Amino acid sequence: MKFGTSILILCLNKEFGKALSSQLANILGMHYADCKEIIEYDLFDSGAILQKCGIEYLNKREKSVVKDISNYENSLIFVEYDIYKTNQKIFDKVHPQIYLRCSRRKLQKDDVINDLAFEERDVFLKENCDLTVEISGTSKSVVNKIIKEIKQKL
C-alpha cells in the first residue's frame, strides 16, 4: 500500500463515513476535511454560478478546489463517491485511499443509491482503493479496526 502525507476516506453511506472520518482524524491528530463542504464553501452558491456562468465554468472551479484539497498535508479527507469518480486522477497522489464498505442495509433512507448503482459503486471502490474495511458494529470499534488495518500495512 502507498503512503503519502494524507489519507482519503470513501464510504457509500455519507453520514456514517463523515462521522467515522472525523473521529479517525481526531484520534490520529490529523486535520479533517470534508471535500464536498469545502467545494460548497468555495463556490458559495453553485446554483447561481451554474445559472450565470454555465456548467463548464462550474466544473472548472470545482476541479480547482479538488486539486487544492489533494495537496493538503497531514489531513484526513472524506470524499463522496461522485466527487471521487469525477476527479479520480487528481486524488491519485493521496494515499492510502480507504473504502469503508457498508452493506446495502447500512445505507440511510435518504441515500438514493439503488441496488444496481450500489453494486457498481461497491466494485469500483474495492478495485480502486488501497484498503477496504468492512464496517459493522459501533463507531469506536470501526475506527479501531481501521487503525489496526493501516498499521498492518505499514
Domain region containing 144: 7-35+74-153
Would 84 be classed as within a structural domain?
yes
All cell numbers assigned to 115: 441496488
Q: Please give the backbone phi and psi of residue 33, each rounded to the nearest 5 degrees, phi first.
A: -135, 125
Would 42 be classed as within a structural domain?
no
The total number of structural domains that make up the chain? 1
Would 114 be classed as within a structural domain?
yes
Instruction: Pick the closest to residue 76 from 132, 23, 116, 152 (CA basis).
Output: 23
Would 45 be classed as within a structural domain?
no
Would 24 be classed as within a structural domain?
yes
Residues 68-102: pLDDT tens digits?
Answer: 999 999 999 999 998 999 999 999 988 899 999 98
All cell numbers assigned to 117: 448503482
Would 107 be classed as within a structural domain?
yes
Q: Where residue 88 sits, what CATH number does that domain have?
A: 3.40.50.300
CA 59 to chain centre: 18
pTM score, two decimals?
0.84
Return the DSSP state at 110: T
Residues of the chain with pLDDT under 50: 110
Would 82 be classed as within a structural domain?
yes
